[in-house]
Amino acid sequence: MEFAFPEYNLRLMAPEIFLFLWALLIIAYDVLTKRKSETTAGYLALAGLMITGLILGFTGTGHGFGNMFVSDTAAKFFKIIFLGSAFMAIGSSFGIMREKIVNHRGEFYGLILFSTVGMMFLSSSNELLSLYIGLELTTIPLFVLAAFFKDDKLSVEAGIKYFIVGAFSSALLLYGISFLYGLSGTTDLVQMKINIAITHLTFQNIGVILILAIVLVVAGIGFKLSLPPFHQWVPDVYQGSPTPVAAFLSVGSKAAGLIAFAKIFVNGLFAFHHPDMAPNDWGRLVALLAVAAMILGNTVAIRQTNIKRMLGYSSIAQVGYIMIGIVAMNALGMAAMGFYIFAYMFANMGAFAAVAIVEDKTGSCEISTYSGLARTSPLLSATFAVFLLSLAGIPPLAGFMAKFYIFAAGIQAAQHDPGLYWMYWLVGIALLTTVFAIYYYANIIKQMYFAKEPSPHKVTYNFPALTVLLIGLAGLFVFGIYPEPVLHFASGIASSFGIIP
């Protein structure tokens, strides 16, 4: 039998390989030195992420491993987001490292890096199985990280909840993937796109199996993306898990779910977006879930008293906005999706970093703790306010530009295609729910700035956490005023998925 070697192109995988080895190194270092230093492992992890970013910059584009591994603009863009969110999560974790996690510092950083490696593999996968493995490698370390405070009931509960929900959603996703494989006879996404389209054209109707596949995959990835009705785990897990882990979950893990979603639906089921394909269309289904996410996330967030729960519901709502970009299925939509998650990374990681700083000082995540904080800790309050305003979408900040592009993409899709007239409704509801969002974000700013009594707490900063705050601040202002370079980069996502502008 003739055995043909696939073209490996190992150099395309250099960032992942390096980061994986670096994670092993950090764990080994921590075990060998018997955890004498409380910060070295953390700085090592930050350095590793920066070096990986540099390697990623020098890595070219192309295919490897017999088309299973692809390095294109979409993959690179999302890898930058994963590295950035891991960087900011680790940066904001030095406080809990000093106080709470004494025995397992190396493991903590190692697991975050492993999860990042999984996300990077996921964003490079061009095929259903490697995509699934990437998603597993992303979530399994996160189960452990969510339960990292072993003596804290809430943290253990968060870990168990996330584990059960994660395992269940993986099973659903795998079931859906098996249907897609059964329909197309291939796991390669591009080949799948062609095969399913040919089957559809040959028989004029592909049958109900595709609906089943679509529903199962939407449910499987919907759990990771926390789209309602698959969102119930989010507030509990965010509240219980260590704050940097919650931050990483809300940005890194969500971006991973997003790229997996985009790969399967935008690329693989390209032809089945439009209502003309009814009942085998996924566009309206996802739009419905996006509406549910925006309404539910934004309204329930108003009632929260714990800031991590509130940010959890707000992140549910943010995913709803991002989904508009995906449902629009045009070049601007893909670019807007990329830009949105980019801006969201700065704002949300920054907000969680601020929460972590306050939690380190006060030990509390209640919103009432923030009352009068502006008088004692002006820098923290100002940056936190900026992050919240960006999440709400207030003009000079990147969050506004992100929302603007998302809504523009939705309107553009509705104008160009009479079959997508309901996109007007989608954008309308998004605009309306944004108003709710401003209420609960502004409520915290009100607590910080307009309370009668000054806060009894005065926060102290450690250097990495302060850096994270400043990175977030700089990112929001720079890319809010001058979004072109990122948007230009993100517009390459569309062509990675075969959408021609």
Partner 1 sequence: MEGTANSMSEYLSVLIFIFVGIGSVLFTFFLSRLIRPHNPYKEKSIPYECAELPIGDSWFKFNNRFYIFALMFVIFDVEVVFLFPWAVAFGELGLFALVEMIIFILILFFGLFYAWRKGALKWV
* Interacting residue ranges for partner 1, rule: CB under 8 A: 1, 3, 5, 8, 24, 27-28, 31-32, 199, 202-203
147 or 468: CB nearest partner 1? 147
* Shortest Cβ 17–partner 1 spacing (Å): 10
3-class DSSP state for residue 90? Answer: helix
The answer to whether 229 and 291 have CB atoms below 8 angstroms apart is no
With a CB cutoff of 8 Å and minimum separation 6, the contacts of 491 are 331, 334, 335, 501
207 or 485: CB nearest partner 1? 207
* Shortest Cβ 114–partner 1 spacing (Å): 12
Strand partners, 64: 69
Distance CA 190, CA 494 (A): 14
* Shortest Cβ 8–partner 1 spacing (Å): 8
8 or 463: CB nearest partner 1? 8
Query: Token pair for residue 172?
Result: 């659903």
69 or 440: CB nearest partner 1? 69
How many alpha carbons fall within 13 Å on the CB side of residue 290? 29
Strand partners, 188: 127
> Kind and range of the H or E element at 74?
helix 73-91
With a CB cutoff of 8 Å and minimum separation 6, the contacts of 232 are 165
* Shortest Cβ 29–partner 1 spacing (Å): 11
How far from 56 is each of 115, 254, 421, CA to CA, in Å?
Answer: 17, 21, 41
Look up tokens 């996690």; give the residue: 101
27 or 214: CB nearest partner 1? 27
The answer to whether 148 and 110 have CB atoms below 8 angstroms apart is no
102 or 431: CB nearest partner 1? 102
8 or 482: CB nearest partner 1? 8
* Shortest Cβ 108–partner 1 spacing (Å): 14
* Shortest Cβ 345–partner 1 spacing (Å): 30
* Shortest Cβ 198–partner 1 spacing (Å): 8
202 or 484: CB nearest partner 1? 202
Distance CA 286, CA 58 (A): 36
Strand partners, 71: 62
* Shortest Cβ 282–partner 1 spacing (Å): 22
The answer to whether 9 and 69 have CB atoms below 8 angstroms apart is yes
* Shortest Cβ 35–partner 1 spacing (Å): 11
Cis peptide upstream of residue 229 (ω within 30 degrees of 0): yes
Distance CA 214, CA 194 (A): 17
Query: Token pair for residue 94?
Result: 């030095």
19 or 27: CB nearest partner 1? 27
25 or 51: CB nearest partner 1? 25
The answer to whether 145 and 108 have CB atoms below 8 angstroms apart is yes
* Shortest Cβ 24–partner 1 spacing (Å): 6
The answer to whether 9 and 46 have CB atoms below 8 angstroms apart is no
Distance CA 191, CA 201 (A): 15
